[in-house]
């Protein structure tokens, strides 16, 4: 008995939405096995990572705060991915957006006014947008692969962050630590639920998910993005510009990443530090694919990945698990998702080989029938010989 993959006549919608759940389940099982082999209590580790953050009502505020930037960045990436525009550098756009907003904060540090925070947010959006414009220009002007350019620009952004924190933007009253001044009350995001950490960026992320869903499913622009991604030739025939779509999707994803960056800087961090790069831009890629590039699915996927972040912190404290455990779980989740995605277009069929111990005539009746036919049938020459012998 063996398994064989057979192509489906059309993609299975059941598997399309069922494989992300299967990927999460396989990640949990693999995590139990790996942590047990490492000498930890596998079941306790899984409980701390995936169950404890949900079971503890106090930790829900942390889940929303962690999920907000992941959802915001993943929404922008999903728009590009639907058009086959692969922005892998959202982490760099996230950092540059935060730096641009921080620049406004430092320039207005001794000022007051309700206009300061909106100016920071606008600068953050513009910073991420301009950083994404570089691969967009190289793609449309010189046909340079946007995967490489956007990814390499991430490391440029990280080095720019380190330079500013250790040089021009270092807090003069920070005892030499590489960080900026703390933002003032006019430069930090307000909390939307008193007594919690849930800041303004959380409802904005959920609002953006609804807005992106409406744009992609109900507008001509959304139709253009989907057609360019699914059928480029049909898009050209319909008058849709592939170059315009590249610019649109890359700038949008950069703007979303920059918005998430400044929200993090003005929210949980309330300043800029070298530790600001927490790989949200890369994790958002997993969120986008786990959510099937659908805005509402991205919200659910963002919450799942937020659970892994908060649960990873729990496991470090309770069980002494290494910090890399969170990254390992996220990597396994992407690996299993890509692996089980084959079930969307293929089905597994169990093939039982024939019993070789049986005679060939029993396994293949047509052979016996052909042999009997050859013995009963006679050619004209055979009939002539029979008449002469008679």
DSSP 267-289: IIISS--GGG--SHHHHHHHHHH
Q: What is the pLDDT of residue 9?
A: 86
| 255 closest CA partner among 204, 309, 321, 190 | 204
What is the average pLDDT across 57-79? 96
pLDDT class for 359, splitting at 50, 70, 90?
low
How many C-beta atoms lie closer than 10 Å to residue 296's C-beta? 13
Residue 301 in contact with residue 287, Cβ under 8 Å? yes
Is it the case that residue 336 has pLDDT exceeding 50?
yes
228 burial class (0-12, 13-18, 19+ CB within 10 angstroms)?
buried
Mean pLDDT of the chain, nearest integer: 89
* Residue 101, beta-bridge partner list: none
Q: What is the pLDDT of residue 382?
A: 53
Q: What is the pLDDT of residue 356?
A: 46
Which range among 63-77, 107-121, 134-148, 310-324 shows the weakest confidence by mean pLDDT?
310-324
How many C-beta atoms lie closer than 10 Å to residue 170's C-beta? 16
| 272 closest CA partner among 125, 97, 155, 110 | 97
Give the distance, in angstroms, between the CA of residue 222 and the centroid of all CA atoms in the same chain. 20
Q: What is the pLDDT of residue 234?
A: 87
What is the average pLDDT across 323-338? 88
- DSSP 3-state assignment of 6? strand
Please tell me which residue, 360 or 3, carries the higher pLDDT value: 3
Give the distance, in angstroms, between the CA of residue 192 and the centroid of all CA atoms in the same chain. 27
Is it the case that residue 360 has pLDDT exceeding 80?
no
- DSSP 3-state assignment of 312? helix
344 burial class (0-12, 13-18, 19+ CB within 10 angstroms)?
middle
What is the average pLDDT across 246-266? 98
* Residue 346, beta-bridge partner list: 7
- C-alpha distances in Å from residue 205, one per residue of 75, 137, 286, 296, 334: 9, 28, 17, 11, 23
- DSSP 3-state assignment of 2? strand
- DSSP 3-state assignment of 106? helix
Q: What is the pLDDT of residue 354?
A: 58
122's CB contacts (< 8 A; 6+ apart) are none
DSSP tag of 189: P
């Amino acid at each position: 008995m063996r398994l064989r993959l057979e192509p489906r006549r059309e993609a299975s919608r059941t598997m399309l939405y069922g494989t992300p759940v299967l990927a999460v389940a396989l990640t949990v099982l693999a995590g139990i096995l790996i942590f047990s082999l490492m000498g930890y209590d596998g079941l306790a580790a899984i409980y701390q990572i995936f169950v404890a953050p949900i079971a503890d009502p106090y930790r829900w505020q942390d889940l929303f705060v962690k999920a907000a930037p992941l959802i915001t960045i993943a929404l922008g990436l999903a728009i590009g991915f639907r058009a086959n525009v692969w922005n892998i550098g959202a982490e760099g756009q996230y950092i540059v957006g935060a730096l641009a907003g921080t620049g406004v904060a430092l320039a207005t540090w001794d000022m007051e006014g309700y206009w300061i925070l909106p100016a920071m947010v606008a600068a953050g959006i513009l910073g991420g947008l301009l950083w994404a414009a570089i691969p967009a220009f190289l793609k449309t002007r010189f046909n340079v692969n946007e995967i490489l350019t956007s990814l390499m620009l991430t490391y440029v952004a990280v080095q720019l962050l380190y330079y500013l924190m250790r040089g021009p933007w270092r807090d003069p009253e920070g005892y030499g630590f590489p960080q900026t001044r703390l933002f003032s009350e006019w430069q930090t995001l307000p909390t939307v639920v008193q007594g919690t950490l849930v800041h303004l960026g959380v409802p904005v992320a959920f609002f953006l998910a609804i807005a992106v869903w409406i744009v992609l499913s109900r507008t001509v622009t959304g139709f253009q993005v989907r057609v360019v991604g699914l059928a480029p030739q049909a898009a050209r025939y319909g008058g849709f510009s592939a170059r315009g779509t590249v610019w649109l999707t890359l700038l949008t994803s950069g703007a979303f990443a920059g918005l998430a960056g400044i929200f993090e800087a003005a929210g949980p961090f309330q300043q800029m530090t070298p530790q600001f790069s927490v790989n949200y831009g890369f994790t958002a890629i997993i969120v986008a694919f786990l959510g099937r590039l659908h805005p509402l699915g991205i919200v659910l996927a963002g919450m799942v990945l937020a659970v892994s972040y908060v649960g990873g912190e729990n496991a470090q404290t309770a069980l002494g698990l290494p910090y890399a455990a969170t990254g390992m779980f996220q990597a396994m989740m992407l690996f299993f998702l890509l692996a089980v995605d084959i079930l969307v277009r293929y089905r597994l069929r169990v093939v039982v080989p024939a019993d070789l111990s049986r005679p060939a005539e029993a396994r293949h009746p047509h052979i016996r029938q052909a042999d009997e036919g050859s013995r009963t049938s006679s050619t004209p020459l055979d009939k002539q010989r029979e008449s002469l012998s008679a």
